[in-house]
Amino acid sequence: MVKKRLEGIEELYVRIFTAISRVDHKSKKGLRKFQILLQVTAILFVQLNEEIDVKKLLLFSLLTSLTLPVLAQQAGFTGPGSENQQHGGFNGPHKTFTVAQSKTLQDDTKVMLEGQITKKISHEHYEFKDSTGTVVVEIDDHKWMGQSVSPNDTVRLEGEVDKDGNKVDIDVKRVTLVK
């Protein structure tokens, strides 16, 4: 019975941590939701104290306290029209293409570009330029991986060509600040 109850609790924790990962940690309302979810988790641990040893409780508390700064971290493009972004990641291609070359490739071709993000066009859409031209890139909020990028910074973008008729965009999977 104890094992079955613990399995149910594990499923509940998965749901709680899924909810935590979806909370907007940049807003006061989002941080309040995050605090409530952590409090619910702590209450569940206290109720199960007789079934969970103190070492596991301490380990959980330590891991929770270590993840808070990461979850609260803000990053993203800091140029014209920008707002702070969140994290992401992807391991992709090794050959670097130019903007001009990427516009001639087939849809869904994996590419790596190096240049500057010059401005924010709309939510998750930016203008990217290199020595051969400009292209619109789509960078999901979580793909910034905690990095802040300005128009003066050189970045490496890894992603895929996204062709829609005559329009070519790059769907970015990873942003790396080039030092």
Contacts 24+ apart (CB under 8 A), 13-18: 13/41, 13/44, 16/40, 16/41
| Tokens, residue 133 | 């031209």
CATH number for the domain spanning 125: value is 2.40.50.200
Residue owning tokens 């499923």 = 11
Q: 40 and 88: one domain?
A: no
Would strands 125-130 and 110-122 be described as parallel, antiparallel, or unpaired? antiparallel
Strand partners, 114: 156
Q: 81 and 156: one domain?
A: yes
Other Cβ atoms within 10 Å of 159 Cβ, number: 25
How many domains are contained in the chain? 2
Q: 82 and 68: one domain?
A: no
Q: 116 and 60: one domain?
A: no
Q: What is the pLDDT of residue 85?
A: 45
pLDDT tens digits, one per residue of 67-91: 555 555 555 666 666 544 444 555 5
124: left (phi over 0), alpha (psi -120 to 50) or beta: left
Give the domain extent around 8.
2-72
Strand partners, 129: 116, 134
Q: What percent of the chain has pLDDT over 90?
A: 40
> Is pLDDT at 1 greater than 60 in this prediction?
no
Q: 59 and 23: one domain?
A: yes
Q: What is the pLDDT of residue 23?
A: 58
Q: 42 and 116: one domain?
A: no
Q: Distance between CA atoms of 105 and 129, rounded to whole angstroms?
A: 17
Which of the listed residues 47, 72, 97 is the one where a domain comes to its end? 72
**More confident call, 160 vs 56:** 160
